[in-house]
Structure 1
Amino acid sequence: MVVLAINLAFAALIIIPLALLIDQHVLPIKGGPLTAKMPLWFLVIVVLIVVPIVEEMLFRYPLKFARNRALKIAVYGSSVIFALVHMSNYDNREILFYLLAPVIVGSQLVGGFLMAYLRLKHGLRWSILMHAVFNAVIIVPITLSIHGKIVIDAHSPQYSLVVTQYAFSERPEHIRIFRQETGIDTVHVRQANLQHIVDLIGTPNGWYVDDALVDIDFKATSPISPDSLISLLGQRFRMIPQIVPNGLDTLTGGGNSKNKAAE
Structure 2
Amino acid sequence: MEKIAINFFKFLKNPQEKFNKTLSLKQKWNILFSILLLDFILVTIASGITSIIDTYLFELKSEPIEDLFSNKPAYLILILAALIVPLIEEFIFRLFLNYDRNFVFQFIDAFTNNKAKIFWDKHFKKIFYIAALLFGLMHLSNFSNTNTLFYILAPFIILPQLIGGVTLGYIRLKLGFFWGVLMHGLYNLIVFSVLLLFLNTTLLTKKNTPDYILEINKLELGLNKPIELEIYKTETTIDSIIGNNTTVKEVANLLNLTDTVLLKKTKRINIRFINKTDLNTPESIISTELKKHFK
TM-score by length of 2: 0.64
2:252 corresponding residue in structure 1: 198
Whether contact under 8 Å (2:215, 2:271) holds in the other structure is yes
1:122 corresponding residue in structure 2: 175
CA distance in 2, matches of 1:25, 1:144: 28
Sort the Cα spacing of 1:29 and 1:156 in 2 relative to 1 into closer, same or farther, 3 A: farther
CA distance in 2, matches of 1:5, 1:139: 16
* Corresponding residue to 1:47 among 81, 84, 91: 81
* Pairwise CA distance, 1:113: 1.7
Q: State the secondary structure of the residue aligned to 1:109.
A: helix
* Pairwise CA distance, 1:46: 0.8
1:242 corresponding residue in structure 2: none
Q: State the secondary structure of the residue aligned to 1:118.
A: helix
Identity percentage over the alignment? 25
1:15 corresponding residue in structure 2: 46
1:173 corresponding residue in structure 2: 227
* Pairwise CA distance, 1:176: 1.3
Whether contact under 8 Å (1:194, 1:211) holds in the other structure is yes
Q: State the secondary structure of the residue aligned to 1:235.
A: helix
Whether contact under 8 Å (1:91, 1:211) holds in the other structure is no
Q: Which moved more, 1:49-58 or 1:226-235?
A: 226-235
CA distance in 2, matches of 1:29, 1:184: 34
CA distance in 2, matches of 1:155, 1:225: 13
CA distance in 1, matches of 2:270, 2:222: 12
1:3 corresponding residue in structure 2: 35
* Pairwise CA distance, 1:88: 3.3
Gapped regions of structure 2 (runs ≥ 5): 1-30, 106-119
CA distance in 2, matches of 1:237, 1:219: 22
CA distance in 2, matches of 1:78, 1:176: 48
CA distance in 1, matches of 2:122, 2:204: 49
Sort the Cα spacing of 1:152 and 1:20 in 2 relative to 1 into closer, same or farther, 3 A: farther
2:15 corresponding residue in structure 1: none
CA distance in 1, matches of 2:140, 2:284: 30
User: May I ask how many residue pairs the two structures share in their alignment?
Assistant: 236
- Letter of the 1:136 counterpart: L
Deviations along 1:164-196, whole A, 9 cap, x unmatched?
A: 122231565132113577675632112224433
Between structure 1 and structure 2, the one with the greater Rg is: 2
- Letter of the 1:61 counterpart: L
Q: Which moved more, 1:227-236 or 1:116-125?
A: 227-236
1:104-115 matches, cutoff 5 A: 104-115=157-168
Q: Which moved more, 1:136-145 or 1:3-12?
A: 136-145
Q: Which moved more, 1:107-116 or 1:207-216?
A: 207-216
Sort the Cα spacing of 1:116 and 1:190 in 2 relative to 1 into closer, same or farther, 3 A: same
- Letter of the 1:6 counterpart: L
TM-score by length of 1: 0.70
Q: Which moved more, 1:112-121 or 1:170-179?
A: 170-179
CA distance in 2, matches of 1:98, 1:145: 32
1:140 and 2:193 matched: yes
1:213 corresponding residue in structure 2: 268
Q: State the secondary structure of the residue aligned to 2:69.
A: coil
Sort the Cα spacing of 1:70 and 1:144 in 2 relative to 1 into closer, same or farther, 3 A: farther
> Which is strand-richer, 1 or 2?
1
1:57 corresponding residue in structure 2: 91
1:81 corresponding residue in structure 2: 134
Deviations along 1:63-91, whole A, 9 cap, x unmatched?
A: 34352355444433332222222233345
Sort the Cα spacing of 1:54 and 1:70 in 2 relative to 1 into closer, same or farther, 3 A: same
Sort the Cα spacing of 1:7 and 1:81 in 2 relative to 1 into closer, same or farther, 3 A: same
CA distance in 1, matches of 2:140, 2:282: 35
* Pairwise CA distance, 1:44: 0.9
CA distance in 1, matches of 2:92, 2:170: 15
